[in-house]
Amino acid sequence: MIPAGLSGAQLGELYYYLRLTRSLETRLTNLYRQGKVLGGLYSSLGQEGESVASAYALERQDVLSPLVRNLGSMLVKGARPVDVLRQYMAKATSPTAGREMNIHFNDLALGFLGQISHLGDMVPVMAGICLSFRIRGEPRVGLVYAGDGASSTGAFHEGLCFAAVQRLPLVVIVEHNGYAYSTPTARQTAVTRLADKAHAYGVPGVTVDGNDVLAVYEVARAAIARARAGEGVSLIETITYRRRGHAQHDDQRYQPREEITRWEANDPMDRYVARVTAEGWLEDAARTAIDERVERELDAAVAESEYEPLPAPESALSGVYADPPHVPGPWFRRIDA
């Protein structure tokens, strides 16, 4: 039986998002090497599984906050590859009109919030958003990603503490991928099991094999259900590995070659494919059709975006101040007179 109550069609969909994430990052790498990507290019190679599986466990109305290595979660939420390409190439047509790069952009209708770069800060921001869900009585859940490095910042701890004491509908995923830039985890935190950080705030913390797509889906699903039921925040530590450098410009000389090779053999996509194939849940022909669909979609997205113009220089002067200056907020807390 397929685990976690998933259907065969959903297993195919999970495979689609895994493939889409990996292939889109490959396209971006090629564009970067041609000098067409502006700024850094961040790869999630080898850890796409946990982004895709955790986002897939959300409902349509839920909101997530990705980091640069969570492209997969945004695609699951409906971000279009053409917009991701435009962002990375800083095109005038990009969601931020060339003002921000990589995957720093929002789509509140689809339910993802562009991160701000400051590590850990999206935990208190998402706690606030989850507080608003509760005040408005909406059955919505927030999901926030933080790296092993981010889990050592003050903002992360304040956010988790606040979310815990308020029993907010929040799920915090700590991606234990071995490094924070060039710093190995053991050099920046004395905690070996990062899920233990949850216990300081009185909330559950679980550790899961981050390269086991179905296992991540299952624990994320349980944490999301718990949050929606009003039982509060939980933390999930996903054990994974950053197989590329911090970004393309990083030659990762501090990562032992044999360590990278060992994790190549533990690739989340390979493992997922091996599992669903061995169990007969996803036919080879269906998988090939998904591969072809992804390449077709990405051919079209690259063709559409590659030669689009950069923003006109004078456009930098617009959108700096609110215009009109007073815009009513989208909602206010009701204050009874």
Rule CB under 6 A: which residues touch ligand TPP? 67, 69, 117-119, 147-150, 153, 175, 177, 179-181, 242, 246
Diameter of the chain by CA atoms?
67
121 is an interface residue for Mg ion by CB under 5 A: no
The binder of 119, among Mg ion, ligand TPP, none, by C-beta within 5 to 8 A per type, is ligand TPP
C-beta of residue 144 within 8 angstroms of C-beta of residue 176? no
> Quick one: which H or E segment has residue 146?
strand 142-147
**Cα–Cα distance between 303 and 309 in angstroms, integer?**
13
Cβ 126 to Mg ion shortest distance, Å: 19
**Chain centre distance of CA 317:** 31
Residue 99 or residue 246: which is nearer to ligand TPP going by CB?
246
Residue 196 or residue 283: which is nearer to ligand TPP going by CB?
196
Cβ 262 to Mg ion shortest distance, Å: 17
Residue 148 or residue 267: which is nearer to ligand TPP going by CB?
148
Cβ neighbour number for residue 38 with a 10 Å cutoff: 16
Binding marks (x or -) toward Mg ion, 75..94, rule CB under 5 A?
--------------------
Cα–Cα distances in angstroms (integers) from residue 109 to residues 63, 66, 84, 192, in the given order:
9, 15, 17, 38
Residue with tokens 């919505």: 140
- Measured distance between the N- and C-terminal CA atoms of the chain, rounded to whole angstroms: 57
Cβ 254 to ligand TPP shortest distance, Å: 13
**Cα–Cα distance between 266 and 211 in angstroms, integer?**
7
Site for Mg ion in 142-201 (CB under 5 A): 147-148, 177, 180
Stretch that binds Mg ion, among 113-121, 140-148, 270-278, 315-323 (CB under 5 A): 140-148
The binder of 245, among ligand TPP, Mg ion, none, by C-beta within 5 to 8 A per type, is none
210 is an interface residue for Mg ion by CB under 5 A: no
Tokens, residue 299: 């051919």
**Cα–Cα distance between 81 and 264 in angstroms, integer?**
25
In the bound complex, which residue of the shown chain has the CB atom lying closest to ligand TPP? 147
> Quick one: which H or E segment has residue 249?
none
Cβ 305 to Mg ion shortest distance, Å: 29
Cβ 295 to ligand TPP shortest distance, Å: 27
Length of the chain: 337
**Cα–Cα distance between 167 and 161 in angstroms, integer?**
10
**Cα–Cα distance between 164 and 181 in angstroms, integer?**
29
Residue 6 or residue 68: which is nearer to ligand TPP going by CB?
68
Residue 119 or residue 276: which is nearer to Mg ion going by CB?
119
51 is an interface residue for Mg ion by CB under 5 A: no
Cβ 161 to ligand TPP shortest distance, Å: 18
Cβ 100 to ligand TPP shortest distance, Å: 14
Question: Could you list the residues that contact Mg ion (CB under 5 A)?
Answer: 147-148, 177, 180
